[in-house]
Amino acid sequence: MAKYNLVTYNKATPNQKSPFPDLVSNLKLFNKAYDGKDEEKLLHKLPLWSDNSSYSSYSTLDEVIAKFNPKNSLNQTFVCRVRDDQIWSSDFTLGGFDRATQTNDKSCRNNLNTKRYNKDEVKGFNDDDSGTLNAYIRYQVKKDGTIDLICVKNMGNHRFWMKKLAAAGGPTEHLMKIRFHEGTPSLAKFDLFGDVETGKLLTKGEMIAIEAAAHHADAGDRNTQVEGQKFYSGLRAQIPAYVECFDFLKANEINYKGIMQVQNVKDCEDWPEISSITGMNIGIGNGIFKSYGMDNVLQSIEVARKIAIEVTKEPIIMNSSIKCFGGMYKSLTELHDGGTKALFNKEQLSQFFYDFFLENNTKSKFRRKPITLKMLTQSGSVKDFNYVSANMFWKDGAIVEYFRDMMDRDNGFTTSHKCMAHFLNNIHPLIRQQATAICNV
């Protein structure tokens, strides 16, 4: 007779194989951190944090599963209490979308130690602050007819951890809103030989995409969710803008937060990383692609990558350097307002950038430190990429002198050129006059 089996983590067998390769037990991660080897992480030395949560009025996950009927339950949401050993997370290090392995123990402790206004005692675990966790129930049909069910939490790693801390590592239950994945088989669909009369059984990838979409929507609603987290979940959820961003980075051999290794991209170990994907993660045709044009972004990526690998030896390329280069390609290599000739073509400007960094990374007794891509960044007072470029590349007349030598002429170019007018007009009016003075060399 076929039956449902809710997969749990057995702490007595820590090397237990996870039910899906992308899943990790949150309980296993906590137990590993508090295994008694670190003096600061001995369970019996944890502070006595309070916990005001009580979920006894809710059904258990086991009770919900016992009453599950695919005919009328698939579109329902169930709020129930789930044991810590029944909870799994899809982790990005295993090809998933969540970051359970990066749960910050110190941050959790600090949160528990927070004091209320005009109160001396610490907050501890406050159920009013924690919110209800979300999870999906995955399934897989085994050869013997057993239907394995797995509770996959798609948000709340730190809330899980804080409740475990407040319990000093003891057993905990967590309030969760759960949904069963489409296609969860009914026991009635099995014959005596254990074969399932399949309707539409979801693949692992389809279930991950559904879970990641919900995780990504939650990430978008919370400012505390970091860019990398949103990228992983957006990619797993197959959101077009994030898939396009990944494909763009891969095509240009640029890594981001180790995503290429997670995606098993071949020969990516030596690719430089980009510091941020801001402006690249809202779809081809938007963001920096709209601001500078695809050709100019491609040129910027190519020259930054070449400089980082061959000259400055920087493992991380600042996103701001791509925007600085992009602004200069846009202004100096294209025609503007009836102009008849651009100052540079794209190959010439690329060569200038490369030669500039090469010259400023040549060892010299007169130079204290080299110039790197990292220096092309907005300071606290200056929030303008073209201004940053002006301050870098017009210093001591660098680009003007390079232009004069390249063209084999006595004079360089002035701020009255149509290309320069475009460049300066894209600088904020409050600092445009200052930028113009820098460029008047």
Most confident among 123-132, 315-324, 364-373 (mean pLDDT):
315-324
Output 84 or 73, whichever has higher pLDDT: 84
Per-residue pLDDT averaged across 414-422, rounded? Answer: 95
Spatial contact of 327 and 300, defined as CB atoms under 8 Å apart: no
pLDDT at 115: 78
Considering only residues 308 and 377, tell me which one the structure prediction assigns the higher pLDDT: 308
pLDDT at 194 over 50: no
DSSP state, 333? S
Please tell me which residue, 39 or 137, carries the higher pLDDT value.
137
Say which range, 72-81, 100-109, 187-196, 351-360, has the weakest mean pLDDT.
187-196
Q: Where does the pLDDT of residue 184 fall: very low under 50, low under 70, confident under 90, or very high at 90 and above?
A: confident
Angle formed by the axes of helices 294-307 and 346-359, nearest 10° = 30
How far apart, in Å, do the first and last CA atoms of the chain sit? Answer: 87
DSSP assignment of 189-257 equals: GB-TT--B--S-PPPHHHHHHHHHHHHHHHHHH-TTS-HHHHHHHHHHTT-HHHHHHHHHHHHTT-BST
151: which residues sit within 8 A by CB, 6+ positions away?
6, 61, 82, 86, 87, 88, 135, 136, 137, 176, 178
Mapped onto helix, strand or coil, the DSSP state of residue 210 is helix
Average pLDDT, the chain: 88
pTM above 0.95, yes or no: no
Q: What share of the chain is helix, strand, coil (3-state, %, to 5)?
A: 45, 10, 45
Q: Give the residue from 177, 147, 151, 20 showing the smallest Cα distance to 83.
A: 151
- Residue with the larger pLDDT of the pair 199 and 233: 233
Q: Which of 47-61, 79-93, 176-190, 403-417 has the lowest mean pLDDT?
A: 176-190
Mean pLDDT, range 327-355, rounded to an integer: 95
Confidence of residue 196 (pLDDT cuts 50, 70, 90): very low
Local structure of 90: helix, strand or coil: strand
Mean pLDDT of 20-43: 85
Q: How far apart are CA 271 and CA 253, in angstroms?
A: 6
Between 86 and 201, name the one with better pLDDT.
86
* Other residues' Cβ atoms within 10 Å of the Cβ of residue 142: 11
Q: Is the pLDDT of residue 362 over 90?
A: no
Of the listed ranges 39-53, 209-223, 425-439, the least confidently predicted one is 209-223
Say whether 370 sits in a helix, a strand or coil: coil
pLDDT value of position 413: 94
Q: Tell me what percent of the residues of the chain surpass a pLDDT of 70.
A: 91
Tokens of residue 232, six digits: 């992983």
Q: What is the pLDDT of residue 117?
A: 60
Q: Is the pLDDT of residue 221 over 50?
A: no
Say what the pLDDT of residue 45 is: 82
